[in-house]
Every structure is written in C-alpha cells, then in structure tokens.
Amino acid sequence: MKILIRQGRVIDPASGRDEAADVAIASGRIVAIGRAPDFDAERVIDARGLVVMPGLVDLAARLREPGQEHEGMLESELAAAAAGGVTSLVCPPDTDPVLDEPGLVEMLKFRARKLSRCRLFPLGALTRGLQGTTLTEMAELTEAGCVGFSQAEVPVRDTQVLLRALQYAATYGYTVWLRPQDAWLGGGVAASGAVATRLGLSGVPVQAETVALATLFELVRATRARVHLCRLSSAAGVAMLRAAKAEGLPVSADVSVNSLHLTDVDIGFFNPDMRLVPPLRQGADRDALRRALADGTIDALVSDHDPVADDMKQLPFGEAEPGATGLELLLSLALRWGADSALPLPATLARVTLHPVQVLGEAIGSLASSAGRLVEGGVADVCVFDPAAEWSVAPERLLSQGKHTPFSFASTGMALPGRVRATLVAGTIAYEAPADAAS
Amino acid sequence: MLSRRNPQLNRHGELIHLLSIEGLPRAVLTQILDTAGTFLSVNDRDVKKVPLLRGKSVFNLFFENSTRTRTTFEIAAKRLSADVINLDIARSSTAKGESLLDTIANLSAMHADMFIVRHAESGAPYLIAQHVAPHVHVVNAGDGRHAHPTQGLLDMYTIRHYKRDFTQLTVAIVGDIVHSRVARSDIHALATLGVPEIRAVGPKTLVPGDLAAMGVRVCHDMREGIRDADVIIMLRLQNERMSGALLPSAGEFFKSFGLTPEKLALARPDAIVMHPGPINRGVEIDSAVADGSHSVILPQVTFGIAVRMAVMSTIAGNQA
C-alpha cells in the first residue's frame, strides 16, 4: 500500500531532521521525505499539528507468551505495543517454557510476524532453563532469531558459570543482557531506606545492584564480552556505569520508565501497583537516573512492560506479583521526562528510537541501519503522535491485558503528555487511534 | 504524585479503621486513651459488660497464630456485648486455596461488622480496609513488621498511667526493632504524644540506621541506650533471628542487650519496664527484672483489654 503522511513535523533523531515535511511510503519502505507531489497515495494521513517520528524501540517488554497467557498474549500485547507507537520490542526469555530452544524462538517470531503489529526480537536464555548451570546453544538460538542472551530475573549465582558464559558469548560477539542484582541481597520487596523501614517491608539494599555491577565489570574487563545492563535503579549504579564507560568497557544500559518517574515514597499506603522490580528507590536515585539518561551514560529508556493479572496484584504488597503494564505509556513518559529535563524533542525521542537500536547493533541485521530512524530507502516503521494532546491513564481502557500501572490517573491525579495517532510497521498501518480518541 | 487520604479516617477526620498509629492526630490517640480509662472500671465490676456493640458481629481473622492477642480482642469484644467469631486461617499459599479478598468477601456476606485482622504481610489490613463495605470496620491486630496499633496504644496507656506527662520522658526501646511491628507503633505513638527522646537500642543487624528517619536516636550500646531512661520497652526476640545470620546466639544477645538488674540500675530510679509479651526469660530479660518492682508487664495486659474496648467502640461509632 502507498501511504502519504502529509505535512507533519518530521523528526529523525539520527540525522537531526526536524521540519514540516511529507513522508511517502511504498512497499514497506520510505520512498521520499520532503515534498512528494507526484506520489499517487492510496491512503493519506493528515499529520498537520502532529509529530512524525521513527517507531519506538523498546528494549524490555514481557509478552507472557508462551506459558502465562492468563497474564498476557502476543495478540493483546503486540496490539498494546502498536497503540504505544512501539514498532520493535525486545522480550526476555523467562516464558514457560523458557526460551532456550531454537524451535520456541522460531515459533514466537512466526506468531508475531503473522500478527504484523510490531517487530519482535527475543532474547535467548543464557543458561538452560535459566538455571545458571549449563550454557544454551547460543549460535543456534541466534540463527533462530535471538538478538542476545539473558537471565531475565534469575541471577547467575555461580561466578564460574557467569565468566564462561561471557567468554562463550564474546567468542561470537553476542551481547549478554543482565539485570545487575545480587541473588542473596536482592530478596526483599522494596528498596532499603526510610520508607521500607517505616512500612515494615523487607529491603533490597543498593548493594544488591552495586555488588553485582562490580562483579560484572571485573568479568567484562577480563572477557571483553559486550554486556547490556538492564534497568539500573540507583545513583551508585549510575556512577559505576559512568566509570566503566569512561574506561572503555563494552557496556550499555537502560532504565525503566518506573524508576525514571517514581520513588519509594509513591508506595503510599502499600499500593501493590508500586510493587516493581527493580524496586523504586529514593529521590536522589531517581534524579541521578534522569541525569544519566540525559547525558548518555544510560543509553535507552524502556517500558519494562510486564502485564500482571488482577488476582496477582490484589494481594498484600509483599505477596503481590511485581510488574506494571507500560507499552502504551512509554512515549508519554519519555515526553514527560524530556520536558522536565528541558531537552529538545529530537533528543528526547532518541532515547526510545535511535539509541536502543544502537544497543541492538548488528544483532538485528540489516534493520540496524534503518530501524529507529526515518531515512529514504529505509523501513517504514513510523509513529505519528499529537504532542499537544494530554490523556489521563484509565487502566481499563488500555489494550494490554495487564491493567496495572503506577501512572493511572487514580494513583497520580496527573495527565500525561502526547497521544499516538497512528503506527506503521513495515509500511502497513498497525494502529490508528479511534476517532473519539481526543479525550 | 498524589498522596491518597489516610484510609483509616473519614472525611471528618474520625477514626473508622485502626490500621496504624502513623498519621493519626494526637487528639484521636488521647481520646482513645481517655475512653479506655472509663472502661477499666467495667473490668472490675461483677457484670463485666456494656451494651455498646450489642448485636454486632466481630470476626477475629487471624492469618497468623496468636492465642494471646486473639484472646484479648475476644474478651474486649464480649465485654462490649458483641458476638465474636474466631477464625484461625492458616496462611495459605496464594497459588492454591482462597485468596485473601475472597475470604473477606465471603465473611462480609455473613454480615460481619468488624474484622480484627492479623496477617504475616505488612499492609494486609490496608488491602482489606479498601475492599470492605462502608459500614464494616477493620482493626489491625498486627501486620508483618509494619504495625500493631492496639499494642502501641496500650503501651501509651501504661506509660500515661505511671508517668502522667509524655513531654518530659526518655523512652528506650530495646531489641529486635527491625522486625518489630510493636516498636514501629510505639515510635509513632510516642512521637505523636510529644516524647522528646525515643531511643532504639540493639545491634546493627536489628537496629538499622534508617530508623533515625522515624525520629529516634539509634544506640548500639545498651548502657548508653538505657541511661537515665524513664521507660524501657523490651521486645521479644524470635528464635529465627539466629538462623538468618542476624545474631550468633540468644546467649550472646542476652549478654549485650538483655535487661539485667545491673543494667536497669543505669535508668532513672523510678523507671518502668514494659514488654509486649510473651517474654523470653534469660534471652531479652532477666527474671529478676521481669518479676521485679519496676516491671509493669502484667498491668499492660489488663490495660490492653480496656484499650481494645476503646478502639472497637470508637470506630464502631464512626461512619465511613
């Protein structure tokens, strides 16, 4: 289908383009940016007053399929991604069964392709069953479509296994995605600090993150394996990452929208929607994370999308399942952070487009040169949004099967900026806001 | 972010649930203590009953075992003429068995008027209070490490009984504070009632520095911690603290932080010694102290009935 997105404010963080222009799309590719007078479009999207940007790339979204379909399914969660302007996402391997077999990965990729709502990039398990003992067949899994290897939420306790996993991955140049969390120190349900102490919640000390980072950086120094650090949560962790990058270690990192906007104080009266992993830390941590994302120490902003069923949230705080839905909120929460940080819009959008694609690098093959960008000849993964629109998050209206978010209007009393109007994946319309979406 | 209204108060600032002492105004605490005073005489009468909760059903809902606390609530409710139903619900895993909120919904359908809840998870009574019908009241009888507000109030009643004025006192709380809901409730109550010096005393594994944010002075030396104290509150040491690498042994704990007559001599000559019970003789407290002239441990139990009567009658009289 030939589509013309007419006269939007076209922003491409990669090239610095920020101007009113038409975007002409045919056969899944962007054929022209600028004036396209002779383009015979079958469909015209009027983008006056709207921003036209590369589709968002989310490095952390759980889809819950296979195995946890009561909490989320590809169909619902990829529809949520499209509604959030997300055109590519990376999912961790902690499904049931775990993504440690090429056949499972192929099936997942095939199912996602059939839905054609969003590109899906699975992470394979670093160890079989995430058990931290035996390596997976990383080369086979890569052929099946894995873009890296991860332990999801299960830290490798045995440092000998961790060292060898990094050595083996480095052999092929694969990236290992790890959330820095010490297995023993990380057992609590809220960040250690005054709030957890006052509420009588078991704490996760900041050393759960820094001890794990210290170990990892030592092993990266030895192996030169490329490591992506998932969802940093602390000021101390940011400082260690900054030093590691200055030293030239091959590491990158992301932060979740939750840690970027919330602190442990938001737990309030034991609100289970604030039960998150990593746990919400203190104001100084949040501020350091915000600065680190602005100055590039942290590469990407992620939704940390994790749909959780009602039953698993309607529990006392410590028993509630951690996680929050996030795909549909990622753009708005990026915009809110960018506005708070007084960043130009293209710089804000780079954290959810260009920079995450750079983290993925060659693992996504030829897409590496055009995903997360708007370039003539590149893939037409596009998000069109209204920067002036505000919306109040009503969880029951989200497309995700997960209806729990800390950012619901009921919790925050605040509206969020920016509303997605249309999402295109490979030149086809994956989402279009309903006509009454002005609210 | 928006902070929600304190769920235990109604729009007029009246107490409808008792979930925590934190955030309650001094006037509310004082009123409960005053009301408790009027109920003490009921307990001395031949017919130990007043009709304030006649026809009301009070459900003792204990997800964690406690014969003592449950019994004191039961006595208090019966002296207010309520019908009391005791339910000991072994804490079932959430994967199988009935969920907490399903249990509450079922009991609500049996026309419960008040739930007295004990639960191993901090905050569980908040979840229940958010899901009961407007006329149903919830009393927290101990949730995880978070709060034990009726114990806090009875401790305040005891202190007021012996010391009259809170605003000149030094109060030392000694022992396993990090795991203690009693300590948290006491600290909030003491601070609200104007106690100028609250000390938290114990080893660093059981008394984290974060406690200072609650307005207490953290002491890791027992002698320094109880010197010139007017009130010493000893906490029960659970056996499982030894397995979690928090302490090497009960014996070593007693040597450093157990209350002996020698250490007690460092406190004010008229100091009172309190303990929420049940006491571990020779672990946190020497028998000579527990049974000695400074000890008010048994009067605490007596006051506890009156305080729980005051709490139940107060919240039952307020509408959501």
- When pLDDT is averaged across residues A156-185 and rounded to a whole number, the result is 97
Could you tell me the pLDDT band of residue A221, with boundaries at 50, 70 and 90?
very high
Q: How many CB pairs under 8 A join A and B?
A: 87
Buried (b) or exposed (e) across A48-76, using 16+ Cβ within 10 A? eebbbbbbbbbbbbbbbbbebeebbbbbb
Specify whether the backbone of B248 is left (phi greater than 0), alpha (psi in -120 to 50) or beta: alpha
Given a cut of 90, is residue B43 above it in pLDDT? no
- pLDDT tier, B94 (very low <50, low <70, confident <90, very high otherwise): very low
Q: Summarize chain A as % helix, strand, coil (round to 5).
A: 35, 25, 40
Report the alpha-carbon distance of residue A205 to residue A321 in Å, rounded: 20
- Output the pLDDT for position B210: 86
Ramachandran sector of residue A296 (left: φ over 0; alpha: ψ -120 to 50; beta: rest): left
Q: Is the pLDDT of residue A439 over 50?
A: no
B144: which chain A residues are within 8 Å (Cβ-Cβ)? 200-201, 316, 318
Which chain A residues have a beta carbon less than 8 Å from that of B100?
314-316
pLDDT tens digits, residue range B263-283?
A: 999 999 999 999 999 999 999
Q: CB-CB: which of B123, B208, B214 is closest to A316? A: B123
Q: Is B119 on the interface with A (CB under 8 A)?
A: yes
Picking from A311, A317, A412, the nearest residue to B123 by CB comes out as: A317
What would the mean pLDDT of B192-220 be, rounded to a whole number? 95
| CB nearest B213 (choices: A197, A268, A318) | A197
H and E: helices and strands count for chain B: 11, 9
Q: What is the pLDDT of residue A437?
A: 52
B240 lies within 8 A of chain A by CB: no
Per the prediction, chain A carries an average pLDDT of: 96
Q: Is the pLDDT of residue B2 over 50?
A: no
pLDDT for the residue numbered A378 = 96
What is the four-CA torsion angle of A28, A29, A34, A39, rounded to 10 degrees? -60
Does the N-terminal peptide bond of residue A66 adopt cis geometry, omega within 30 degrees of 0?
A: yes
Q: Are strands A51-54 and A382-391 parallel, antiparallel or unpaired?
A: antiparallel
Cβ contact A67:A403 at 8 Å:
no
pLDDT of residue A68: 84
Task: Summarize pLDDT for B135-181 with one digit per residue, the tens.
Answer: 999 999 999 999 999 999 999 999 999 999 999 999 999 999 999 99
Question: Residue B93's pLDDT is what?
Answer: 40
Q: Which of A196, A197, A268 sits opposite B4 (nearest CB)?
A: A268
Least confident of A146-150, A359-363, B9-13: B9-13
Extract the tokens encoding A29.
């590719």
pLDDT of residue A69: 84
Residues 6+ positions from A9 with CB-CB distance below 8 Å: A18, A19, A20, A47, A50, A51, A52, A387
The answer to whether the beta carbons of residues B31 and B314 sit under 8 Å apart is yes
Task: Give percent above pLDDT 90 in chain A.
Answer: 93
From A156-160, A259-263, B91-95, the region with the lowest mean pLDDT: B91-95
Q: For residue A197, list chain B residues with Cβ-Cβ distance below 8 A.
A: 178, 208, 210-211, 213-214
What are the chain A neighbours of B3 within 8 Å (beta carbons)?
Answer: 268
SS3 of residue B313 by DSSP: helix
Tell me the pLDDT band of A24, cut-offs 50, 70 and 90.
Answer: very high
Q: Which of A193, A318, A411 sits opposite B121 (nearest CB)?
A: A318
Q: Of these residues, A12, A100, A254, A304, which one is catalytic?
A: A304
Record the tokens describing residue A122, joined without a space.
Answer: 């699975």
| B70 part of contact set with chain A, CB < 8 Å | no
Per-window interface: B 35-64 vs A, CB < 8 A: none
Peptide bond into B299 cis (omega under 30): no
- Cβ contact (<8 Å) for B1 and A314? no
Residue B1 confidence (pLDDT): 38
* Shortest CA gap B233–chain A (Å): 19
Per-residue pLDDT at B295: 98
pLDDT at position B98: 78
Distance, in Å, from the CA atom of A212 to the CA atom of A372, rounded to the nearest integer, reads: 31
| CA distance between the termini of chain A | 30
> Which residue, among B231, B223, B122, has the nearest Cα to B166 in the 3D structure?
B231
- Which structure tokens are listed for B274? 């309190």
Smallest Cα–Cα separation from A278: which of A292, A293, A289?
A: A289
Report for A64-78, A344-358, B51-65, B89-103: range of highest mean pLDDT: A344-358
Tell me the per-residue pLDDT of A37-60, one tens digit each, with 9 for 90 and over: 788 999 999 999 999 999 999 999
DSSP assigned state of B147: B
pLDDT tier for residue A395 given thresholds of 50, 70 and 90: very high
DSSP string, A321-371: PP-B--TTTHHHHHHHHHHHTT--HHHHHHTTTHHHHHHHGGGGGGGGGTT
Cα–Cα distance, A352 to A330 (Å, whole number): 8
Name all contacts of A392-397 with Cβ < 8 Å and 24+ positions apart: A392/A416, A393/A329, A395/A325
Cα distances (angstroms) measured from residue A216 to each of A160, A213, A229, A279, B45: 12, 5, 10, 20, 71
Q: Do B143 and A200 touch (CB under 8 A)?
A: yes
Q: What is the four-CA torsion angle of A250, A279, A420, A338, rounded to 10 degrees?
A: -60
Residue A210: HSE in the Cβ half-sphere, 13 Å Cα cutoff: 13
| pLDDT reported for residue B92 | 47
Residues in a beta bridge with B281:
B285
Arithmetic mean of pLDDT over chain B:
93
pLDDT(A368) > 70? yes
Q: Give bridge partners of residue B115 from the DSSP assignment.
A: B59, B138
- How far A317 CA lies from chain B's nearest CA (Å)? 7
Q: Under an 8 A CB cutoff, do A318 and B3 touch?
A: no
How far the first Cα of chain B sits from its last, in Å, is 25
User: Do residues A196 and A203 touch, judged by C-beta distance below 8 A?
Assistant: yes
Cα–Cα distance measured from residue B210 to residue A195, given in angstroms and rounded to the nearest whole number: 9
**Of the ranges A33-42, A137-146, A248-257, A377-386, which one carries the lowest mean pLDDT score?**
A33-42
Segment A376-395 shows an average pLDDT of 97
- The owner of tokens 């000849």 is A377
pTM: 0.95
Q: How many residues does chain A have?
A: 439
Nearest-Cα distance to chain A for B287, in Å, is 30
Angstrom CA distances, A73 to A32, A65, A320, A431, B91, stand at 36, 5, 21, 17, 31
Nearest to A182 by CA among A143, A215, A149, A152: A215
The H-assigned helical ranges of chain B are 26-44, 67-79, 100-109, 124-131, 149-163, 181-192, 222-226, 250-257, 261-264, 287-290, 297-316
Query: A205 — contact with chain B (CB < 8 Å)?
Result: no
Q: Which of residues 208-237 of B touch A (CB under 8 A)?
A: 208, 210-211, 213-214
Q: How many CB atoms lie within 10 A of CB A37?
A: 6
Taking only the tens place, the pLDDT of each residue in B108-133 is 999 999 999 999 999 999 999 999 99
Q: How confident is the model at residue B44 (pLDDT cuts 50, 70, 90)?
A: confident
Does the structure show a pLDDT above 80 at A436?
no
Taking contacts as CB-CB distances below 8 angstroms, the residues of chain B near A314 are 99-101, 127
Contact yes or no for B127 and A266 at CB 8 A: no
Residues in a beta bridge with B233: B173, B274
Question: Could you tell me which residues are beta bridge partners of residue A301?
Answer: A255
Percentage of chain A with pLDDT > 70? 99
Domains of chain A are 55-369 (3.20.20.140)
A273 is catalytic: no
Of B181, B182, B183, nearest to B200 by C-alpha is B183
Q: Do A314 and B127 touch (CB under 8 A)?
A: yes
Per-residue confidence (pLDDT) for residue B91, from 0 to 100: 53
What's the pLDDT at B96? 52
Contact at CB, B2 and A413, closer than 8 angstroms: yes
* pLDDT score recorded for residue A126: 98
Name the pLDDT band for A87 (thresholds 50, 70, 90): very high
A168 touching B (Cβ < 8 Å): no
Residue with the larger pLDDT of the pair A321 and B48: A321
